[in-house]
Homo-oligomer: A and B are copies of this chain.
């Protein structure tokens, strides 16, 4: 399944590994001509939901950032994975991954880090490449890409941001002035982030350079409420809570039964779930999972993911929602000496942050997997992506039936007319109409318009629907 999709993605210019001519580098992918359009459409669905409809602001900050930012956030000291190298062949492994693949049961009883370190000594783990059990002493490996900013004596250490979030917190005081000193307000950023993963081997589900769409809501800790819960409260969802209990119920029931403590959290889980189904994912593949107490960041009071049940990768985290309290602004206040306090009705406090953190590449893959269709055999076989109109790389394809009798001229006129409205439209005049339908299906174009002799006579065209193959004048 995943192989078929990825083969199609490479062949049709949707996505493909980067730097192939130089042997590649794992964890990097190019979005090709078709993939870019789909990706931008996914981003625009989120932009529309959060910026236009919810009134969030958008910012765009640098990805290269001075070290102090990540000292404050805790990333310099703690954003690490345990790494072990095979003593024989030199292959590097993220220890956690090796354990999960080879001895998952050994992780359960004692603290994770200790359990993993002991496993290396025990000889129960082996190199995936050369099978040697001689693995080097595990050490903490920082996942941030390091660089240097500036020249000569002004040189300072910098990192590529591992998340957009911190770059949103830094200008909090400026944003506070822009919103004219009112809470709550939300700030979104869509952009690249970077994690120097030890040995990523999961396609675009684990990238070293990836796109995030993060929304940070700055809130009064005494007023973590929403007025919009009713918009999503009837939504039925699958839930796995922090105690491992599964349930399917409406968000309203989940709040009532205290499966989800905060109505605000339930609201945002609903908005995210809706965003994913708008992208074309099957609702029954989605699951809301609460982080266990031992996996949640120490400063967060509650964290949930929305996951997609992928055939290729298992449960894939697509968005994380977290009540980050006043931790981040507090840390930056401490390290920078600049006040992050606000004064509302006589109360002085550091605002709390409620975070909604989307990946874009993972929903991109999950959308493709969820909308992939195939039917028929031999000559009749066809494959297509049943992408929603808003997500499709082209809104429509325009085909001249034949290459003569002024039909291409007429088709070209219609093509230019559609394009002049700012629409992405494909023009294709090569091969039989059947082949052109097949090519359009493969990249998920929802409708094809064929210009024929009737068009010249009475301006009617044949419109063919991707999913049903029905044609109508």
Contacts and interface: CB of A to CB of B under 8 A. Distances in A.
A151 B85 CA distance: 9
B62 A28 contact: yes
A175 B33 contact: yes
Given A25-B156, A60-B39, A151-B141, A19 B175 contact: no
B19 A63 contact: no
Interface residues of A, number: 85
Contact of A151 (B12, B35, B48, B92): B92
Nearest to A171: B30
Which of A19, A21, A34 has the most chain B CB atoms inside 10 A of its CB?
A21
B151 A196 contact: yes
A149 B336 contact: no
A32 B178 contact: yes
Interface stretch (A215-223, A374-382, A416-424): A416-424
Interface stretch (A64-72, A264-272, A291-299, A463-471): A64-72
A422 B48 contact: yes
A92 to B, nearest CB: 4
A423 B39 CA distance: 20
A150 B180 CA distance: 44
A33 B62 contact: no
Contacts of A53: 419-420
Contacts of A85: 152-153
A147 B146 contact: yes
A57 interface: yes
Contacts of A170: 18-22
A52 interface: yes
| Majority secondary structure of chain A interface residues (helix, strand, loop or mixed) | mixed
Contacts of A147: 145-147, 160
Contacts of A194: 64
A372 interface: no
A116 to B, nearest CB: 16
Nearest to A53: B419
A174 interface: yes
A10 interface: yes
A100 B11 CA distance: 51
A241 interface: no
Interface of A: 10-13, 16, 18-22, 25-26, 28-37, 39, 48, 51-53, 57-66, 68-69, 83, 85, 90-92, 141, 145-154, 156, 158, 160, 167, 170-171, 173-175, 177-178, 180, 187, 192, 194, 196, 198-199, 208-209, 332, 335-336, 338, 419-420, 422-424, 430
